[in-house]
Amino acid sequence: MKKLFAIVFSLLLCVCMLLGGCKPTEKTAATEAQAETVVETESGYDTTSPKAAEWFDNAVFVGDSVTLKLDYYCEEHPEALGKASFYCAGSLGYTNALWAIDAPDAVHPFYEGATHLVEDCVEITGKKNVFIMLGMNDIGLYGTDGAMKSCQQIVSKILSKSPDARIYLQSVTPMIESAQVETFNNTLVKEFNGKLKAFCDEKGYRYLDVYSALADEKGNLPKELCSDPDNMGLHFNDTSCQMWADYLKKNA
């Protein structure tokens, strides 16, 4: 009987020790999760995903003709990106966005009935999440280094007027295989995107790889996602715009 009691007592003691040993582990896990949450909060970016469409009510998109198509898509599909604002124009780039409003050949787009510089437009909207996709119209003219230099200047100008803005730099997107030329092709686009990501990593901005979200296994834009396969071969249709919006919701 004493032997049986000793065995039972030993088993109970082991159970107590095991239960007691689990508590510090649970506490540690909770502490680590709390620390991770703090880091995410201190970054200034909302890292929860996916985002609801309404989250983009506080977003402004700056871009060229590719983003202009997204603007049109969102007007027809408000469930995509909520009430996001768009400041876009065909042929807009990081470099000519630096030009004066009245400069010859300037292409600054209209926003609410007037022409504004990018940094002024962002300030006027008062929105804090700034999504920028430019560079397509810079790479062929100024090379990837020149495009990157202008990108840095644009971001600096935006933050000088909207210091609380959160910068989201979107990659330049791919073109169909047959649209590539020597001075502008997917190889150069990927080269620029690599520099864009490095810039984001250095400065703490968010880099969004829209290129990879839409490219096929060869790194090209599939023809079925292109609205002008027989022309420029780089603009999107409704299907690719939906894919783009879905990517932003999951990764912004």
The model's pLDDT over 64-73, given as tens digits with 9 standing for 90+, comes to 999 999 999 9
Say if CB 212 and CB 89 are below 8 A apart.
no
Averaged pLDDT score across all residues of the chain: 87
In a domain, 55, yes or no: yes
Q: What is the pLDDT of residue 31?
A: 39
Q: What is the pLDDT of residue 42?
A: 53
Domain total in the chain: 1
In a domain, 184, yes or no: yes
Q: pLDDT grade, residue 48 (50/70/90)?
A: confident
In a domain, 20, yes or no: no
In a domain, 33, yes or no: no
In a domain, 18, yes or no: no
pLDDT in tens, 3-20: 444 443 444 444 333 344
Rounded Cα distance, 174 and 176, in Å: 7
pLDDT in tens, 163-213: 999 999 999 999 999 999 999 999 999 999 999 999 999 999 999 999 999
Which of the pair, 20 or 250, is modelled with greater confidence? 250
In a domain, 15, yes or no: no
Q: Domain limits at 225?
A: 51-251
Q: What is the pLDDT of residue 111?
A: 85
Is the pTM higher than 0.85? The answer reads no
In a domain, 179, yes or no: yes
Q: What is the pLDDT of residue 43?
A: 57
Q: What is the CATH number of the domain that holds 174?
A: 3.40.50.1110
